[in-house]
Amino acid sequence: MILLVAFAVSSTTYSQVDRADIAIKGLMQKNKIVGLQLAVIKNNKIVKSSNYGWSNIQDSIAVDSKTVFSINSMTKAFTGVAIMQLVESGKLNLEDPISKYLDSLPKTWRNITIKQIATHTSGIPDIWESPEHMFSEKNETLFKKIKESPIVFQPGEKLRYNQTNYLLLGLIIEKISGKSFEKFIIDNQFEKVGMKNSIKAGMGDSYTIINHSARPYSYYINGSLTNIHQPMPSYLYPGGGIYSTATEMAQWVIGLQNNTLIKAESLKSLWTPIQLDNVKTQETNGSLYGTAIGFDTNSRTKNPVITQSGGARNTLYIYPKDNVSVVILTNLMGSRPQDFIEEIANLYITEQK
């Protein structure tokens, strides 16, 4: 009887894994994805952690559990958590003006708040729109060029995603903590949840050699598979510099939800969507979309979800109501896993109901 029961449980588990594997392999073939990592969390435990395809096609190197991927703008979620950690320590207030921490700002910037830059409602011009600015060797030169540009809109009136906001958050984190952005994230997040491969990889820009990292590919250039060279100057690390694995991202999500990284009250603040001045939250097909601190939100009635994506190739979906989270990392720019991640998530959400 004991053997029969054990076999039944094992069969159910493998059936669940097989369904996810079959779905992922089909999606990879459909979307021509080169390499992929998947991690699934249910009830604060990692119930699925798998690797698929190639980290490097040229040398026939498969993706494995130690392969690190550039997570691109998913880094902003870590920056958001860092901000809340400084709030908890009493060193920062979300309503503080950025001029409290940064000197020599234009008059139009001085009353912009920490919360406004963290939620992309600041109106500050985007450095990404001027590639020639991105490769300044010195932050002082870069800052001067950005500050000479006019403000795009009055702070709090609109939402406009841009990289300058998180460059400024990085500078503020460094100013308050006395550490580099990378060191602050390693000490206060990576170390706390055991992200060993992420610590070993460190953060990277366009020119950094990251050992055991997945090589990035794209079909954008000429329609066939090519290598890509992604510009990511070191001063934009707070917006896109982290390398990690799907499993370690899952460990981080668990640390976030079990209050290892921040308190429950701080997590609530982190995930509360910003309300624009005199503007209602945008509703589409029963879904309420919003931007929070380092995350995006969809406050739909069924399966509300907290998300973050990066580089059109990585995504994280957290379902607080269902206590399910899914991380998908790929090395194909344009694979857009945010378009199919819920197909995987629904396997686990449906199973537990």
> Beta-strand (E) ranges in the chain?
35-42, 45-56, 61-62, 69-70, 217-218, 226-227, 243-244, 282-284, 287-291, 296-298, 305-310, 314-319, 324-330, 332-333
Chain mean pLDDT for the chain: 87
What is the residue-level pLDDT of the chain in tens, covering all 353 positions? Answer: 333 232 223 233 445 558 999 999 999 999 999 999 999 999 999 999 999 999 999 999 999 999 999 999 999 999 999 999 999 999 999 999 999 999 888 899 999 999 999 999 999 988 776 555 454 445 566 667 778 888 999 999 999 998 999 999 999 999 999 999 999 999 999 999 999 999 999 998 766 789 999 999 999 878 899 988 766 777 889 999 999 999 999 999 999 999 999 999 999 999 999 887 655 555 444 556 789 999 999 988 888 999 999 999 999 999 999 999 999 999 999 999 999 999 999 999 975 54
- Distance, CA of 3 to CA of 228 (rounded, Å): 52
Which are the contacts of 93, defined by CB distance < 8 A and separation ≥ 6? 87, 114
Report which of 54, 78, 73, 74 is spatially closest to residue 64, judged by C-alpha positions: 54
| Torsion, CA 167, CA 170, CA 176, CA 181, rounded to 10 | -150
Q: Rounded to whole angstroms, how far apart are CA atoms 161 and 144?
A: 21
Which 3 state secondary structure label does DSSP give 117? helix
Secondary structure string (H, E, C) spanning 162-209: CHHHHHHHHHHHHHHHCCCHHHHHHHHHHHHHCCHHHHHHCECCCCCC
User: What string of DSSP letters covers 26-75?
Assistant: HHHHHHT--EEEEEEEETTEEEEEEEEEEEETTTTEEP-TT-BEE-GGGH
For the stretch 234-244, pLDDT in tens is: 788 999 999 99
- pTM reported for the whole predicted model: 0.90
Predicted local distance difference test score (pLDDT) of residue 139 = 55
For position 112, what pLDDT does the model report? Answer: 96
CA-derived radius of gyration, the chain: 21
Strand-pairing partners, residue 233, are none
Residue 27 CA to residue 136 CA, distance in Å, equals 40
Name the nearest CA neighbour of 135 among 207, 73, 203, 72.
207
The one-letter amino acid at 38: L
